[in-house]
Amino acid sequence: MSKERTFSIIKPDGVSRNLIGKIIARFESEGLFVIGAKMKQLSRHEAEGFYAVHRSRPFYAELVNSMCSGPVLLMVLEGENAILKNREIMGATNPTEAKENTIRKLFGVSIGENTVHGSDAPDTAKNEIAWFFAESDLANKQ
Ligand code: CMP
């Protein structure tokens, strides 16, 4: 096992329903540490760039609209196997397919409004963190 960083977003549907505390409590209870956090209203440019990998997908416009519909909480999480652990805590992308007690099963409204985003691999985690955070923004939890 090795200590890793991953990138997490509490999406507008999670922030607007006042779920920030419950979601962070879940991360912390499973050994993930918040080492960076920023509340932000994403611009279209930021949302489009962040999700550029999905640009050709049919849901892209809806995804960008949804991510700009209200403030989000951007976070960097650190812990043992943080990337996989966060993905397990979040559950499948589609809340109807997510396992019991995952964040998306508990709180997700639809595949578009699935409450949280998390990096899927080490290279994406690095890029996603760098999209929103400078190294100097992060508390180094050694
Ligand atoms: P996220 O983990 O943020 O990554 C891309 C997002 O696109 C995904 O969560 C969903 O919220 C959204 N999305 C909307 N429709 C789809 C779809 N049909 N398949 C995959 N992702 C979708």
Can you tell me the distance from the alpha carbon of 35 to that of 138, in angstroms, rounded to the nearest whole number? 5
Tens digits of per-residue pLDDT, 92-131? Answer: 999 999 999 999 999 999 999 999 999 999 999 999 999 9
Q: Which amino acid is at 57?
A: R
DSSP for residue 117: E
54 is catalytic: no
Residue in the structure block whose two tokens are 């578009």: 112
Ligand 1 pocket mutation pick from 74, 87, 114 by most atoms within 8 angstroms of CB: 114
**pLDDT for residue 2:** 78
Q: Is the pLDDT of residue 142 over 60?
A: no
Q: Report, as an integer, the average pLDDT of 84-99.
A: 98
Tens digits of per-residue pLDDT, 17-32? Answer: 999 999 999 999 999 9
Marked catalytic residue, from 117, 118, 125, 133: 117
Mapping DSSP to helix (H, G, I), strand (E, B) and coil, where does residue 97 land? Answer: helix
Q: Is the CB of 70 under 6 A from ligand 1?
A: no
Ligand 1 centroid from CA 48, angstroms: 13
**pLDDT for residue 141:** 62
pLDDT category at 1 given cuts 50, 70, 90 is low
DSSP 21-73: HHHHHHHHHTT-EEEEEEEE---HHHHHHHTGGGTTSTTHHHHHHHHTSS-EE
Among 101, 91, 93, 85, smallest CA distance to 30 is for 85
- Count other Cβ atoms within 10 Å, centred on residue 58: 8
Q: Report, as an integer, the average pLDDT of 67-82.
A: 98
Q: Kindly give the number of the ligand 1 atom that is closest to the alpha carbon of 118.
A: 2
Tens digits of per-residue pLDDT, 21-62? Answer: 999 999 999 999 999 999 999 999 999 999 999 999 999 999
